[in-house]
Amino acid sequence: MPLTLQDPGPALRVLAYAPSTSGKGAMVWKMNDRSRYPGDPQGQAFVGGVKQYMAVKKVNDIDVGTWDFWDIMDLLDDKILDNSAGIFQSSGSGSMGNKPAELPVNIEYVEFSGATAAPAAPPAGGETLVDRSDDRYKDLPPDATIREYKIPVAPATYAPQAVEGLRGAVASMPEPTNHVGPRYMGPNSLNEASIREMLAAFKNGQLLPMKDAYKLAIDAFDLLVKEKTLGRVDVPVGKKVTVVGDLHGQLFDFDHMLSLAGFPSAENQFLFNGDFVDRGPWSVEVMFTILAFKVWQPNAVYMNRGNHEAEMANHFYGFFGEVEVKYEKRMIDLFAEIFRATPLCHVINNEVFVVHGGIPGPDPRVWWKGRGL
C-alpha cells in the first residue's frame, strides 16, 4: 500500500537513499528508526510510517519509479545527506537536469512486493523501548521515543591508580618544617575550633602543608567513593538542613554564610549542591574547607557533583591551574577522582530532590509541544 509523506522543507526526513543494482529507482537506505526527542526532524520519516528499504514511487505526483537514481535525487536536492561527504547535496548529477521539486514536497513510498526488511538492531547500551500504552506516557507527543536504561551494577570497589599510587608517596613525604598555621593530622584532629583556625588561615593567605592537603583529600575520597549516586538525607523533626549552591571559590562569601548558618552537626546538616570551584580565586581553600567538614562530620555533610566538578571545566575555568600554582600538578588527578566519586543528587526526607543540573537535552532546544518559551 503506497504511503505519502509531505516534506515542508529541507529537513532530514531520510538520511540516505540508494539505487538498485541497475541504477534505477531510489530506496530508503538510512533513516532514524525512532524519534530522539519531540519534533526531531530526523525522526519524521519514522513517525510518518516510512520504513527502511521502501522505494520512492512518486515525487509531487510525478511517477519516478523507473527513473535513474540521480535524476530522482535532483528532485530531492537539499533534502538528503550526501552518503560520503556527510553534507547536503548542492549540485545536480542526473542526465535529465532536474531542478529541486517545489516545496512542500509530497513523496510517495511503496514497499517491494514480498520484500522483507532487515531486522532492526537491538538498542545499544542495554536500553529497552518502553511500552507506549502505559498510562504514564499518555500525554507525550506521538513522536516522542521513550527508553528505559538499565544501569550496570557498580563494581564492589573502585580504586583508581591516581589515588592508590599516592598513598605510599604521601606517607613517605617529610613532615613540614617551619610551618605556622593549622595542620591536618587525621580525622581525629578535626573539630570546630581547628576548622575555624583553618578558615582564618585561608583568609590570611596561608595553606595547609602539602602532605596534610594530600592526606585530607585522600581521606575525603575514601568516604565519598563509598556513597551512592543518589544519597538520602534524613532531617529529624525540629532539626534543619542547609542547602548550599555554587560557591565557585568565593571563600569570604562562604565564611559569611557560615557565620549565618553555623557549622555542620547532627542537628544542623549541610548539603553542598555542586560548583564548589572555578571562577573564584580561592577554589582550593573552599574545596579543602568542604572536605574538612565532610571528614569531620561524614553523616551530617553531603556533597552533590555539579557541572564544574569535571576535568574540562576545571581546566578551562581555573581550578586545576590554581591547584598547580598553590600545590603541584600531581594533585590535579586526585581532585578529578574526588569529583568522580561525588554523588550526583540527594533526596531529603523522601520529599525534596536536590540536584545541581537537569538532564541534558537536544541542541538547539526543542520545546515541548503546546508550550512556549
Instruction: Give pLDDT, residue 77.
Output: 67
**C-alpha–C-alpha distance, residues 121 and 240, integer Å:** 51
Residue 116 reports pLDDT greater than 60: no
Instruction: Give pLDDT, residue 151.
Output: 63
Tell me the mean pLDDT in the region 342-356.
95
Residue 74 reports pLDDT greater than 90: no
Instruction: Give pLDDT, residue 123.
Output: 43
Domain regions of the chain by residue span: 1-123, 161-355
- Rounded to two decimals, the pTM is 0.61
Residue 355 reports pLDDT greater than 90: yes
**78: burial class by Cβ within 10 Å (0-12, 13-18, 19+)?**
exposed
Instruction: Give pLDDT, residue 278.
Output: 96
308 an active-site residue?
yes
Q: Where do runs of H (alpha helix) occur along the chain?
A: 44-47, 69-75, 161-171, 192-203, 210-224, 251-261, 283-296, 311-317, 319-326, 330-341
Q: Does domain 161-355 have CATH number 3.60.21.10?
A: yes
Q: What is the chain's mean pLDDT, rounded?
A: 83
Q: Does domain 1-123 have CATH number 1.10.30.50?
A: no
Among 308, 315, 346, 356, the active-site one is: 308
